[in-house]
Structure 1
Amino acid sequence: MKTNFSLLFYLKRKKNYQSGPVAIYMRITVNGKRVEMTSGRSCEPRQWNTVNGRSSGKKEDSKSLNAYLDDLQFKIHEAHRQLTLHNEEVTAISIRDRFLGKQGSHHTIIGVFKEHNRKLEILIGSEYTKGTAERYRTSLKHAIDFLQWKYSAADMDLRKVNHEFITEYDFYLRSVRKCNNWGRIKYRPKKMATMDENQWPLFQNMFQ
Protein backbone atom coordinates (compact mmCIF):
# COMPACT_ATOMS: atom_id res chain seq x y z
CA MET A 1 0.00 0.00 0.00
CA LYS A 2 1.35 3.41 -1.00
CA THR A 3 2.16 5.77 1.87
CA ASN A 4 2.70 9.51 2.06
CA PHE A 5 6.17 9.69 3.57
CA SER A 6 8.37 12.72 4.27
CA LEU A 7 11.46 13.65 6.27
CA LEU A 8 12.27 17.10 7.65
CA PHE A 9 15.36 18.45 9.39
CA TYR A 10 14.72 21.49 11.57
CA LEU A 11 16.11 23.45 14.52
CA LYS A 12 14.39 22.90 17.84
CA ARG A 13 14.94 25.79 20.21
CA LYS A 14 14.46 25.38 23.93
CA LYS A 15 11.89 27.60 25.63
CA ASN A 16 14.56 29.62 27.39
CA TYR A 17 16.81 29.86 24.31
CA GLN A 18 18.76 33.10 23.97
CA SER A 19 21.73 32.45 21.71
CA GLY A 20 24.18 29.84 20.45
CA PRO A 21 23.88 26.60 18.45
CA VAL A 22 20.46 24.91 18.37
CA ALA A 23 19.82 21.16 18.23
CA ILE A 24 18.88 19.74 14.82
CA TYR A 25 15.91 17.38 14.93
CA MET A 26 14.44 14.99 12.39
CA ARG A 27 10.71 14.70 11.80
CA ILE A 28 9.45 11.55 10.07
CA THR A 29 5.88 11.83 8.80
CA VAL A 30 3.77 9.03 7.34
CA ASN A 31 0.17 9.64 6.36
CA GLY A 32 -0.06 12.66 8.64
CA LYS A 33 1.35 10.93 11.73
CA ARG A 34 4.84 11.82 12.83
CA VAL A 35 7.70 11.09 15.20
CA GLU A 36 10.62 13.33 16.07
CA MET A 37 14.14 12.51 17.14
CA THR A 38 17.41 14.34 17.55
CA SER A 39 20.07 14.15 14.87
CA GLY A 40 22.80 14.46 17.47
CA ARG A 41 24.10 17.66 15.88
CA SER A 42 23.44 21.39 16.23
CA CYS A 43 23.73 24.53 14.13
CA GLU A 44 23.76 28.30 14.56
CA PRO A 45 20.29 29.64 13.55
CA ARG A 46 21.84 32.31 11.32
CA GLN A 47 23.54 29.56 9.28
CA TRP A 48 20.47 27.34 8.94
CA ASN A 49 18.53 27.16 5.67
CA THR A 50 14.96 26.20 6.66
CA VAL A 51 13.96 25.42 3.07
CA ASN A 52 16.76 22.93 2.42
CA GLY A 53 17.09 21.72 5.99
CA ARG A 54 20.85 22.19 5.83
CA SER A 55 23.53 24.57 6.94
CA SER A 56 24.13 27.47 4.58
CA GLY A 57 27.66 28.03 5.85
CA LYS A 58 30.62 27.79 3.49
CA LYS A 59 33.27 26.59 5.93
CA GLU A 60 34.42 23.03 6.35
CA ASP A 61 32.40 22.45 9.52
CA SER A 62 29.17 23.31 7.66
CA LYS A 63 30.09 20.98 4.80
CA SER A 64 30.82 18.23 7.28
CA LEU A 65 27.47 18.82 9.00
CA ASN A 66 25.57 18.69 5.71
CA ALA A 67 27.34 15.48 4.72
CA TYR A 68 26.30 13.98 8.06
CA LEU A 69 22.67 15.01 7.52
CA ASP A 70 22.77 13.61 3.98
CA ASP A 71 23.87 10.28 5.44
CA LEU A 72 21.04 10.31 7.99
CA GLN A 73 18.56 11.10 5.23
CA PHE A 74 19.83 8.18 3.15
CA LYS A 75 19.50 5.79 6.10
CA ILE A 76 15.95 6.94 6.88
CA HIS A 77 14.91 6.49 3.25
CA GLU A 78 16.59 3.10 3.19
CA ALA A 79 14.61 2.05 6.28
CA HIS A 80 11.43 3.09 4.45
CA ARG A 81 12.51 1.18 1.34
CA GLN A 82 13.25 -2.00 3.29
CA LEU A 83 9.87 -1.92 5.03
CA THR A 84 8.14 -1.47 1.67
CA LEU A 85 10.25 -4.17 0.01
CA HIS A 86 9.30 -6.74 2.65
CA ASN A 87 5.65 -5.64 2.67
CA GLU A 88 5.86 -4.66 6.34
CA GLU A 89 3.69 -2.00 7.96
CA VAL A 90 5.06 1.44 7.10
CA THR A 91 4.51 4.01 9.85
CA ALA A 92 6.58 6.84 11.22
CA ILE A 93 7.36 4.66 14.25
CA SER A 94 8.32 1.57 12.22
CA ILE A 95 10.67 3.67 10.05
CA ARG A 96 12.26 5.19 13.16
CA ASP A 97 12.62 1.80 14.84
CA ARG A 98 14.18 0.21 11.77
CA PHE A 99 16.58 3.13 11.46
CA LEU A 100 17.55 2.66 15.12
CA GLY A 101 17.81 -1.12 14.77
CA LYS A 102 14.86 -1.76 17.07
CA GLN A 103 12.66 -3.65 14.62
CA GLY A 104 13.19 -6.95 16.39
CA SER A 105 13.95 -10.40 15.02
CA HIS A 106 10.71 -11.28 13.26
CA HIS A 107 10.75 -14.37 11.09
CA THR A 108 10.00 -14.01 7.41
CA ILE A 109 8.30 -16.45 5.06
CA ILE A 110 11.23 -16.91 2.70
CA GLY A 111 13.76 -16.82 5.52
CA VAL A 112 12.01 -19.67 7.35
CA PHE A 113 11.54 -21.58 4.09
CA LYS A 114 15.24 -21.34 3.22
CA GLU A 115 16.29 -22.45 6.70
CA HIS A 116 13.93 -25.43 6.48
CA ASN A 117 15.39 -26.43 3.11
CA ARG A 118 18.95 -26.02 4.38
CA LYS A 119 18.33 -28.48 7.21
CA LEU A 120 16.46 -30.86 4.92
CA GLU A 121 19.41 -30.98 2.49
CA ILE A 122 21.68 -32.10 5.33
CA LEU A 123 19.34 -35.00 6.11
CA ILE A 124 19.14 -36.37 2.56
CA GLY A 125 19.84 -40.09 2.68
CA SER A 126 18.98 -40.49 6.36
CA GLU A 127 15.51 -38.96 6.67
CA TYR A 128 14.71 -37.46 3.27
CA THR A 129 15.15 -38.40 -0.37
CA LYS A 130 16.63 -36.29 -3.16
CA GLY A 131 13.14 -36.14 -4.66
CA THR A 132 11.74 -34.58 -1.50
CA ALA A 133 14.52 -31.99 -1.43
CA GLU A 134 13.86 -31.11 -5.06
CA ARG A 135 10.14 -30.70 -4.34
CA TYR A 136 10.89 -28.23 -1.54
CA ARG A 137 13.31 -26.31 -3.74
CA THR A 138 10.54 -25.96 -6.31
CA SER A 139 8.07 -25.01 -3.59
CA LEU A 140 10.44 -22.28 -2.38
CA LYS A 141 10.70 -20.89 -5.91
CA HIS A 142 6.90 -20.83 -6.17
CA ALA A 143 6.68 -18.97 -2.84
CA ILE A 144 9.23 -16.36 -3.96
CA ASP A 145 7.43 -15.88 -7.29
CA PHE A 146 4.07 -15.63 -5.53
CA LEU A 147 5.22 -12.84 -3.18
CA GLN A 148 6.48 -10.88 -6.16
CA TRP A 149 3.32 -11.58 -8.20
CA LYS A 150 0.82 -10.72 -5.46
CA TYR A 151 2.60 -8.23 -3.20
CA SER A 152 5.57 -7.01 -5.29
CA ALA A 153 7.71 -8.02 -2.30
CA ALA A 154 10.89 -10.07 -1.95
CA ASP A 155 9.78 -11.42 1.44
CA MET A 156 7.15 -10.88 4.14
CA ASP A 157 6.81 -11.05 7.88
CA LEU A 158 5.62 -14.54 8.80
CA ARG A 159 2.96 -13.00 11.04
CA LYS A 160 1.15 -11.73 7.95
CA VAL A 161 0.21 -15.26 6.92
CA ASN A 162 -3.55 -15.64 7.37
CA HIS A 163 -6.58 -17.15 5.65
CA GLU A 164 -6.48 -14.57 2.84
CA PHE A 165 -2.78 -15.17 2.20
CA ILE A 166 -3.20 -18.93 1.95
CA THR A 167 -6.28 -18.61 -0.25
CA GLU A 168 -4.41 -16.27 -2.60
CA TYR A 169 -1.42 -18.62 -2.70
CA ASP A 170 -3.69 -21.53 -3.55
CA PHE A 171 -5.27 -19.45 -6.34
CA TYR A 172 -1.80 -18.57 -7.64
CA LEU A 173 -0.82 -22.23 -7.83
CA ARG A 174 -4.01 -23.05 -9.74
CA SER A 175 -4.15 -20.06 -12.09
CA VAL A 176 -0.55 -19.02 -12.72
CA ARG A 177 1.40 -22.23 -12.08
CA LYS A 178 -1.42 -24.39 -13.55
CA CYS A 179 -1.10 -26.95 -10.76
CA ASN A 180 -3.76 -29.63 -10.44
CA ASN A 181 -5.09 -30.69 -7.04
CA TRP A 182 -2.10 -32.95 -6.39
CA GLY A 183 0.34 -30.25 -7.51
CA ARG A 184 -1.25 -27.67 -5.22
CA ILE A 185 -0.86 -29.96 -2.22
CA LYS A 186 2.65 -30.96 -3.26
CA TYR A 187 3.90 -27.37 -3.52
CA ARG A 188 2.24 -26.07 -0.37
CA PRO A 189 3.82 -26.62 3.04
CA LYS A 190 2.29 -29.69 4.64
CA LYS A 191 0.02 -28.04 7.19
CA MET A 192 -1.61 -25.70 4.67
CA ALA A 193 -3.62 -28.49 3.09
CA THR A 194 -5.52 -29.48 6.23
CA MET A 195 -5.87 -26.31 8.31
CA ASP A 196 -9.22 -24.80 9.20
CA GLU A 197 -9.73 -21.14 10.07
CA ASN A 198 -8.74 -21.71 13.70
CA GLN A 199 -5.40 -23.23 12.75
CA TRP A 200 -3.77 -20.51 10.65
CA PRO A 201 -1.24 -19.74 13.41
CA LEU A 202 0.15 -23.25 12.86
CA PHE A 203 1.39 -22.09 9.48
CA GLN A 204 3.82 -19.83 11.27
CA ASN A 205 5.45 -22.96 12.70
CA MET A 206 5.14 -25.04 9.52
CA PHE A 207 8.81 -25.92 9.43
CA GLN A 208 9.37 -26.49 13.11
Structure 2
Amino acid sequence: MKDSFFTLTFFPRKPRSAGSGEYPLYARITTEGQKAEFTIGRKVNPSVWDQRAQRSNGRSRRDIELNKYLEMVRSRFYEIHNRLINEGQFINPQIMKNHYFGMVEKPKMLCDVFRETNIKRREEYERGDIGYATFSRWERCVTYLEEFMTLNRGEKDIPIKDVTAGFIQDFEHFLRMSKECANNTTVRYLRYLKNVIQYAIANKWTNDDPFAGKRFKRTKAERCFLTEPELQRIMALDLKAFPRLESVRDTFVFCCYTFVALTNVCLIINKLQTNNRGIGNGLETTCLHHFA
Protein backbone atom coordinates (compact mmCIF):
# COMPACT_ATOMS: atom_id res chain seq x y z
CA MET A 1 0.00 0.00 0.00
CA LYS A 2 1.61 3.24 -1.14
CA ASP A 3 -1.01 5.82 -0.18
CA SER A 4 -4.21 5.56 1.86
CA PHE A 5 -5.83 8.73 0.47
CA PHE A 6 -8.05 8.96 -2.60
CA THR A 7 -10.67 11.26 -4.08
CA LEU A 8 -13.74 10.32 -6.10
CA THR A 9 -15.32 12.95 -8.32
CA PHE A 10 -18.46 12.76 -10.47
CA PHE A 11 -18.86 15.09 -13.44
CA PRO A 12 -20.92 15.31 -16.66
CA ARG A 13 -19.16 15.39 -20.01
CA LYS A 14 -20.67 16.90 -23.14
CA PRO A 15 -21.19 14.23 -25.80
CA ARG A 16 -19.73 14.67 -29.26
CA SER A 17 -23.10 14.37 -30.94
CA ALA A 18 -26.19 16.29 -29.91
CA GLY A 19 -28.86 14.09 -28.43
CA SER A 20 -31.53 14.52 -25.82
CA GLY A 21 -29.69 17.38 -24.16
CA GLU A 22 -28.47 15.17 -21.29
CA TYR A 23 -24.78 14.57 -20.56
CA PRO A 24 -23.31 11.21 -19.58
CA LEU A 25 -21.90 11.11 -16.04
CA TYR A 26 -18.30 10.05 -15.40
CA ALA A 27 -16.38 9.14 -12.26
CA ARG A 28 -12.75 10.09 -11.67
CA ILE A 29 -10.57 8.35 -9.05
CA THR A 30 -7.39 10.19 -8.02
CA THR A 31 -4.48 9.03 -5.85
CA GLU A 32 -1.03 10.66 -5.72
CA GLY A 33 -1.58 12.52 -8.97
CA GLN A 34 -2.69 9.38 -10.83
CA LYS A 35 -6.21 9.16 -12.12
CA ALA A 36 -8.64 6.81 -13.81
CA GLU A 37 -11.94 7.77 -15.40
CA PHE A 38 -14.96 5.74 -16.46
CA THR A 39 -18.62 6.27 -17.23
CA ILE A 40 -21.08 5.17 -14.56
CA GLY A 41 -23.86 4.47 -17.07
CA ARG A 42 -26.10 7.37 -16.03
CA LYS A 43 -27.03 10.70 -17.65
CA VAL A 44 -28.03 14.06 -16.21
CA ASN A 45 -29.40 17.35 -17.50
CA PRO A 46 -26.53 19.88 -17.10
CA SER A 47 -29.00 22.57 -16.01
CA VAL A 48 -29.75 20.72 -12.74
CA TRP A 49 -26.26 19.37 -12.04
CA ASP A 50 -24.41 20.88 -9.04
CA GLN A 51 -20.70 20.21 -9.60
CA ARG A 52 -19.69 21.48 -6.17
CA ALA A 53 -22.08 19.10 -4.40
CA GLN A 54 -21.64 16.48 -7.14
CA ARG A 55 -25.34 15.73 -7.27
CA SER A 56 -28.47 16.68 -9.13
CA ASN A 57 -30.61 19.51 -7.83
CA GLY A 58 -33.61 18.25 -9.77
CA ARG A 59 -36.82 17.30 -7.99
CA SER A 60 -37.98 14.60 -10.34
CA ARG A 61 -38.05 10.95 -9.35
CA ARG A 62 -35.30 10.27 -11.89
CA ASP A 63 -33.00 12.86 -10.27
CA ILE A 64 -33.67 11.48 -6.79
CA GLU A 65 -32.80 7.94 -7.94
CA LEU A 66 -29.64 9.28 -9.61
CA ASN A 67 -28.46 10.84 -6.34
CA LYS A 68 -29.08 7.55 -4.51
CA TYR A 69 -27.09 5.70 -7.15
CA LEU A 70 -24.18 8.15 -6.82
CA GLU A 71 -24.11 7.54 -3.06
CA MET A 72 -24.10 3.80 -3.66
CA VAL A 73 -21.12 4.10 -6.04
CA ARG A 74 -19.27 6.26 -3.53
CA SER A 75 -19.94 3.76 -0.71
CA ARG A 76 -18.70 0.92 -2.92
CA PHE A 77 -15.39 2.68 -3.51
CA TYR A 78 -14.93 3.38 0.20
CA GLU A 79 -15.55 -0.32 0.85
CA ILE A 80 -12.96 -1.33 -1.78
CA HIS A 81 -10.45 1.19 -0.41
CA ASN A 82 -10.83 -0.03 3.18
CA ARG A 83 -10.46 -3.68 2.15
CA LEU A 84 -7.27 -2.94 0.20
CA ILE A 85 -5.85 -1.12 3.23
CA ASN A 86 -6.72 -4.00 5.59
CA GLU A 87 -5.10 -6.50 3.24
CA GLY A 88 -2.01 -4.32 2.88
CA GLN A 89 -2.31 -4.20 -0.89
CA PHE A 90 -0.97 -1.55 -3.23
CA ILE A 91 -3.55 1.14 -4.07
CA ASN A 92 -3.84 3.17 -7.24
CA PRO A 93 -6.80 4.38 -9.37
CA GLN A 94 -6.60 1.49 -11.85
CA ILE A 95 -6.59 -1.15 -9.10
CA MET A 96 -9.65 0.41 -7.46
CA LYS A 97 -11.40 0.64 -10.82
CA ASN A 98 -10.64 -3.04 -11.52
CA HIS A 99 -12.07 -4.04 -8.15
CA TYR A 100 -15.21 -2.01 -8.80
CA PHE A 101 -15.83 -3.72 -12.14
CA GLY A 102 -14.86 -7.15 -10.80
CA MET A 103 -11.82 -7.44 -13.05
CA VAL A 104 -9.54 -8.84 -10.35
CA GLU A 105 -8.39 -12.39 -9.79
CA LYS A 106 -10.65 -14.26 -7.39
CA PRO A 107 -9.02 -15.61 -4.21
CA LYS A 108 -7.66 -19.13 -4.38
CA MET A 109 -9.91 -21.62 -2.58
CA LEU A 110 -8.53 -24.26 -0.22
CA CYS A 111 -10.06 -27.38 -1.81
CA ASP A 112 -9.34 -26.11 -5.33
CA VAL A 113 -5.65 -25.71 -4.47
CA PHE A 114 -5.69 -29.12 -2.77
CA ARG A 115 -7.07 -30.75 -5.93
CA GLU A 116 -4.45 -28.90 -7.96
CA THR A 117 -1.73 -30.53 -5.89
CA ASN A 118 -3.53 -33.88 -6.19
CA ILE A 119 -3.01 -33.71 -9.95
CA LYS A 120 0.72 -33.78 -9.21
CA ARG A 121 0.21 -36.68 -6.78
CA ARG A 122 -1.59 -38.63 -9.53
CA GLU A 123 1.33 -38.04 -11.87
CA GLU A 124 3.70 -39.28 -9.16
CA TYR A 125 1.53 -42.37 -8.65
CA GLU A 126 1.41 -43.12 -12.39
CA ARG A 127 5.18 -42.71 -12.54
CA GLY A 128 5.57 -45.13 -9.63
CA ASP A 129 6.99 -42.60 -7.14
CA ILE A 130 4.18 -43.16 -4.61
CA GLY A 131 1.80 -46.03 -3.94
CA TYR A 132 -1.91 -46.16 -4.59
CA ALA A 133 -2.66 -46.08 -0.85
CA THR A 134 -0.77 -42.79 -0.47
CA PHE A 135 -2.50 -41.27 -3.49
CA SER A 136 -5.90 -42.38 -2.16
CA ARG A 137 -5.23 -40.69 1.18
CA TRP A 138 -4.44 -37.40 -0.58
CA GLU A 139 -7.80 -37.51 -2.35
CA ARG A 140 -9.60 -38.64 0.79
CA CYS A 141 -8.19 -35.68 2.70
CA VAL A 142 -10.01 -33.26 0.35
CA THR A 143 -13.27 -35.11 0.97
CA TYR A 144 -12.76 -34.87 4.72
CA LEU A 145 -12.03 -31.13 4.42
CA GLU A 146 -15.28 -30.57 2.53
CA GLU A 147 -17.24 -32.57 5.12
CA PHE A 148 -15.60 -30.63 7.95
CA MET A 149 -16.32 -27.21 6.43
CA THR A 150 -19.89 -28.15 5.52
CA LEU A 151 -20.51 -29.31 9.08
CA ASN A 152 -18.80 -26.38 10.84
CA ARG A 153 -19.16 -23.47 8.39
CA GLY A 154 -22.06 -24.40 6.15
CA GLU A 155 -19.90 -24.19 3.01
CA LYS A 156 -17.70 -26.64 1.13
CA ASP A 157 -14.74 -24.34 0.54
CA ILE A 158 -13.07 -21.19 1.85
CA PRO A 159 -10.31 -18.90 0.55
CA ILE A 160 -6.96 -20.45 1.40
CA LYS A 161 -5.83 -17.14 2.91
CA ASP A 162 -8.58 -17.56 5.54
CA VAL A 163 -7.11 -20.81 6.92
CA THR A 164 -6.01 -20.09 10.49
CA ALA A 165 -4.36 -22.01 13.32
CA GLY A 166 -7.82 -22.39 14.86
CA PHE A 167 -9.09 -23.93 11.61
CA ILE A 168 -6.26 -26.48 11.77
CA GLN A 169 -7.06 -27.37 15.38
CA ASP A 170 -10.76 -27.81 14.60
CA PHE A 171 -9.96 -30.00 11.59
CA GLU A 172 -7.64 -32.13 13.73
CA HIS A 173 -10.43 -32.58 16.28
CA PHE A 174 -12.85 -33.51 13.46
CA LEU A 175 -10.46 -36.21 12.20
CA ARG A 176 -9.99 -37.72 15.64
CA MET A 177 -13.58 -37.54 16.84
CA SER A 178 -15.87 -37.66 13.79
CA LYS A 179 -13.69 -39.83 11.54
CA GLU A 180 -12.20 -41.82 14.44
CA CYS A 181 -8.71 -41.56 12.94
CA ALA A 182 -5.84 -42.85 15.05
CA ASN A 183 -2.98 -40.50 15.89
CA ASN A 184 -0.67 -41.52 13.03
CA THR A 185 -3.47 -41.29 10.45
CA THR A 186 -4.48 -37.86 11.75
CA VAL A 187 -0.89 -36.64 11.61
CA ARG A 188 -0.58 -37.91 8.04
CA TYR A 189 -3.67 -35.95 6.89
CA LEU A 190 -2.49 -32.79 8.65
CA ARG A 191 0.89 -33.07 6.96
CA TYR A 192 -0.86 -33.30 3.60
CA LEU A 193 -2.75 -30.09 4.44
CA LYS A 194 0.50 -28.43 5.56
CA ASN A 195 2.08 -29.35 2.22
CA VAL A 196 -0.82 -27.63 0.41
CA ILE A 197 -0.48 -24.49 2.55
CA GLN A 198 3.26 -24.33 1.81
CA TYR A 199 2.47 -24.72 -1.89
CA ALA A 200 0.06 -21.76 -1.65
CA ILE A 201 2.64 -19.64 0.21
CA ALA A 202 5.24 -20.41 -2.47
CA ASN A 203 2.79 -19.15 -5.11
CA LYS A 204 1.90 -16.06 -2.98
CA TRP A 205 -1.77 -17.04 -2.70
CA THR A 206 -1.50 -16.57 1.05
CA ASN A 207 1.01 -14.90 3.33
CA ASP A 208 0.40 -16.48 6.74
CA ASP A 209 1.40 -20.01 7.72
CA PRO A 210 -1.23 -21.41 10.13
CA PHE A 211 1.11 -24.33 10.88
CA ALA A 212 3.87 -22.06 12.23
CA GLY A 213 5.09 -23.42 15.57
CA LYS A 214 2.92 -26.53 15.34
CA ARG A 215 4.66 -29.91 15.58
CA PHE A 216 3.21 -33.33 14.86
CA LYS A 217 4.39 -36.40 16.73
CA ARG A 218 3.66 -39.84 15.40
CA THR A 219 3.12 -42.78 17.73
CA LYS A 220 5.75 -45.46 17.38
CA ALA A 221 3.99 -48.74 16.65
CA GLU A 222 5.10 -51.75 18.65
CA ARG A 223 5.19 -54.56 16.14
CA CYS A 224 5.21 -58.19 17.19
CA PHE A 225 5.48 -61.49 15.36
CA LEU A 226 2.53 -63.69 14.48
CA THR A 227 2.36 -66.96 16.36
CA GLU A 228 1.66 -70.26 14.63
CA PRO A 229 -1.93 -70.46 15.95
CA GLU A 230 -2.61 -66.88 14.76
CA LEU A 231 -1.32 -67.70 11.27
CA GLN A 232 -3.47 -70.84 11.21
CA ARG A 233 -6.56 -68.78 12.06
CA ILE A 234 -5.77 -66.38 9.21
CA MET A 235 -5.46 -69.31 6.81
CA ALA A 236 -8.77 -70.75 8.02
CA LEU A 237 -10.75 -67.58 7.30
CA ASP A 238 -13.45 -67.99 4.66
CA LEU A 239 -13.00 -65.00 2.35
CA LYS A 240 -14.65 -66.35 -0.80
CA ALA A 241 -17.17 -63.50 -0.66
CA PHE A 242 -14.26 -61.02 -0.78
CA PRO A 243 -11.94 -62.07 -3.64
CA ARG A 244 -9.63 -59.11 -3.21
CA LEU A 245 -9.09 -59.79 0.50
CA GLU A 246 -8.67 -63.48 -0.25
CA SER A 247 -5.87 -62.65 -2.69
CA VAL A 248 -4.21 -60.41 -0.12
CA ARG A 249 -4.46 -63.15 2.54
CA ASP A 250 -3.03 -65.77 0.19
CA THR A 251 -0.14 -63.50 -0.75
CA PHE A 252 0.61 -62.74 2.89
CA VAL A 253 0.60 -66.40 3.91
CA PHE A 254 2.76 -67.26 0.92
CA CYS A 255 5.32 -64.68 2.02
CA CYS A 256 5.25 -66.02 5.58
CA TYR A 257 6.26 -69.48 4.38
CA THR A 258 8.69 -68.42 1.63
CA PHE A 259 10.31 -65.42 3.43
CA VAL A 260 9.53 -63.07 0.54
CA ALA A 261 9.38 -59.46 1.86
CA LEU A 262 6.31 -57.51 0.78
CA THR A 263 8.15 -54.26 1.46
CA ASN A 264 10.82 -55.06 -1.13
CA VAL A 265 8.87 -56.80 -3.87
CA CYS A 266 5.46 -56.05 -5.41
CA LEU A 267 3.58 -59.35 -5.76
CA ILE A 268 0.60 -59.86 -8.02
CA ILE A 269 -1.37 -63.08 -7.75
CA ASN A 270 -1.89 -64.40 -11.26
CA LYS A 271 -3.44 -67.79 -10.80
CA LEU A 272 -3.85 -70.40 -8.06
CA GLN A 273 -2.00 -73.55 -9.05
CA THR A 274 -3.88 -76.68 -8.03
CA ASN A 275 -1.03 -79.06 -8.87
CA ASN A 276 1.73 -77.34 -6.88
CA ARG A 277 3.01 -78.39 -3.50
CA GLY A 278 0.67 -77.48 -0.65
CA ILE A 279 1.96 -75.29 2.13
CA GLY A 280 -0.42 -76.37 4.83
CA ASN A 281 -4.12 -76.51 5.58
CA GLY A 282 -5.01 -77.14 1.95
CA LEU A 283 -3.58 -73.80 0.76
CA GLU A 284 -1.73 -74.12 -2.51
CA THR A 285 1.22 -72.03 -3.69
CA THR A 286 0.42 -69.25 -6.10
CA CYS A 287 1.87 -68.22 -9.41
CA LEU A 288 3.42 -64.82 -8.69
CA HIS A 289 4.98 -62.17 -10.90
CA HIS A 290 7.80 -60.13 -9.33
CA PHE A 291 8.27 -56.49 -10.18
CA ALA A 292 11.26 -54.47 -9.00
TM range (shorter): 0.5 to 0.7
The answer for the alignment partner of 1:105 in structure 2 is 106
What aligned pairs does 1:1-208 form with structure 2 within 5 A after superposition? 1-17=2-18, 20-107=21-108, 110-113=161-164, 117=168, 119-124=171-176, 125-126=181-182, 127-128=185-186, 158-159=204-205, 161=207, 187=213
Equivalent residue of 1:122, what SS?
helix
Contact 2:160 2:206 in 1 (8 A): no
Q: Give the aligned residue type for 2:26.
A: Y
Q: Return the offset for 1:24.
A: 0.5
What is the aligned residue count? 145
Q: Return the offset for 1:14.
A: 2.2
Q: Return the offset for 1:66.
A: 0.4
Q: Give the aligned residue type for 2:54.
A: G
In structure 2, the CA distance between the partners of 1:94 and 1:123, relative to structure 1 (3 Å rule), is same
Q: Return the offset for 1:111.
A: 1.2
In structure 2, the CA distance between the partners of 1:188 and 1:88, relative to structure 1 (3 Å rule), is farther
Deviations 1:43-68 (A, max 9, x none): 01111111111111122221111011
* Distance of 1:78 and 1:189 partners within structure 2: 39
Which has the greater radius of gyration?
Answer: 2
Higher mean Cα deviation, 77-86 or 96-105? 96-105
Deviations 1:73-128 (A, max 9, x none): 11111111111111122111221122222222234774144696265443333423
Higher mean Cα deviation, 12-21 or 47-56? 12-21
In structure 2, the CA distance between the partners of 1:52 and 1:114, relative to structure 1 (3 Å rule), is farther
* Distance of 1:24 and 1:8 partners within structure 2: 10
Equivalent residue of 2:186, what SS?
coil
Deviations 1:128-158 (A, max 9, x none): 36xx8xxx9xxxxxxxxxxxxxxxxxxxx94
Equivalent residue of 1:27, what SS?
strand
The answer for the alignment partner of 1:139 in structure 2 is none
Q: What TM-score does the superposition give when structure 1 sets the normalisation length?
A: 0.57
* Distance of 1:24 and 1:189 partners within structure 2: 58
Contact 2:3 2:31 in 1 (8 A): no
In structure 2, the CA distance between the partners of 1:62 and 1:189, relative to structure 1 (3 Å rule), is farther
Q: Return the offset for 1:188.
A: 6.3
Contact 1:3 1:31 in 2 (8 A): no
Where structure 2 has 5 or more consecutive residues not aligned to the other structure, the ranges are 109-158, 195-202, 217-292
In structure 2, the CA distance between the partners of 1:188 and 1:100, relative to structure 1 (3 Å rule), is farther
* Distance of 1:160 and 1:82 partners within structure 2: 16
- What's the % identity of the aligned pairs? 21
Equivalent residue of 2:40, what SS?
strand
In structure 2, the CA distance between the partners of 1:123 and 1:67, relative to structure 1 (3 Å rule), is same
* Distance of 2:162 and 2:77 partners within structure 1: 24
RMSD: 3.5
* Distance of 2:40 and 2:27 partners within structure 1: 6
Contact 1:109 1:158 in 2 (8 A): no
In structure 2, the CA distance between the partners of 1:186 and 1:27, relative to structure 1 (3 Å rule), is closer
In structure 2, the CA distance between the partners of 1:49 and 1:86, relative to structure 1 (3 Å rule), is same
Higher RCO (CA 8 Å, separation ≥ 6 residues): 1
